[in-house]
Amino acid sequence: MLVFTLLIPGPPPLSATAEFADKAAALRDQLVELGLDQGSLFLGAGIDESDEGCELFFSNLYTNIDSARSDVQGQDRPHWVLARWDADAPVSGGGFSVIETDLTR
């Protein structure tokens, strides 16, 4: 018996949630370095898995959720998520949490 395996090249499976968490953690570290270590900031990301290399498109940072929501909804992407960064949260929790998505509204 002879068995063959066919490998089809292509991009790795997408995980917008994992990628968003990694980007958010990097952002948190940068903000702490800038001295922004108190209060809450809001960030959105438009998600389009068909846009290779730009699956996540981040909004600006905002001090209120309504501005972040308006920004991310205006990106004309199939899906979006909103996250809050609580700068004064315990380090072990990271301070980031996804608080809303287009699927939860």
Is 33 within the bounds of a domain?
A: no
Is 68 within the bounds of a domain?
A: yes
Distance CA 53, CA 84 (A): 24
Distance CA 73, CA 27 (A): 21
Query: pLDDT confidence of 3, banded at 50, 70, 90?
Result: very low
Phi, psi of 35, deg, nearest 5 = 90, 10
| pLDDT, position 105 | 60
Is 90 within the bounds of a domain?
A: yes
Number of domain units in the chain: 1
Domain that holds residue 78: 38-101
Phi, psi of 97, deg, nearest 5 = -150, 140
Is 91 within the bounds of a domain?
A: yes
pTM of the predicted model as reported, rounded to 2 decimal places: 0.62
Is 95 within the bounds of a domain?
A: yes
